[in-house]
Amino acid sequence: MQERIAVVPGSFDPVTLGHIDIIRRAAALFDRVIVLVVINPVKNTSFTPEERGELIRKSTADIPGVEVDLYKGLLVDYVRSRGAVAIVKGLRAMSDFEYEFQMALINKKMLPYAETVFLTTGQNNLYLSSSLVKNVAMFGGDISGLVPRQIHDEVAARLSGVDSGKLGKEALM
Ligand code: PNS
């Protein structure tokens, strides 16, 4: 039977325990999960796309069927090129809904056979986001419990060294 592939796209700047929870659950539902670091040239990020990919690789090494890729362009073009059948997203608080709904509709319009599958975030991760991690780390707060332990030291060191003046609103998104 044909392998059922799902793509989990995002900025992952950096990957959080909330993302890992979604990736792990997606891996239980599909034969293969591609975690896709989507490169947005106009977004200010704290980690380069390659660094973000590497952080995800280290954090998902124990999850079978997961691969990591980097991509610049329309998500649906990537999904089509890999023969994937689904886009998996995590839904947190209601504030995520409108934006995610909009993206799901436009993606469906462009690639009707691919489904967007929303997984509700685990209760512990309801308010967890990459921007929150950056904010906490930047001011020397403890980010264990927010990012995977495999990448904790690397992420903490990098973010605590960031000049807070350089972290504009976009970098905290
Ligand atoms: O982690 P993020 O920043 O919320 O992820 C958003 C992402 C990367 C999934 C979204 O911006 C995206 O799919 N970008 C690729 C460009 C695209 O396909 N745009 C049309 C649908 S919005």
What are the Cα distances from residue 111, in Å, to 96, 103, 117?
Answer: 22, 12, 14
Per-residue pLDDT of 143-163, as tens digits, reads: 999 999 999 999 999 999 754
Is the CB of residue 160 less than 8 Å from the CB of residue 153?
Answer: no
pTM: 0.92
Query: Which pLDDT does position 64 carry in this prediction?
Result: 97
Ligand 1 within 6 A of CB of 38: yes
Q: Give the residue-averaged pLDDT of 20-41.
A: 98
Residue 130 appears among annotated catalytic residues: yes
User: Taking 90 as the threshold, does the pLDDT of residue 93 lie above it?
Assistant: no
Distance, CA of 136 to CA of 148 (rounded, Å): 15
Taking the centre of ligand 1 as the mean of its atom positions, its distance from the CA of residue 1, in whole angstroms, is 30
Taking the centre of ligand 1 as the mean of its atom positions, its distance from the CA of residue 103, in whole angstroms, is 7
Query: Which pLDDT does position 110 carry in this prediction?
Result: 98
User: Taking 70 as the threshold, does the pLDDT of residue 169 lie above it?
Assistant: no
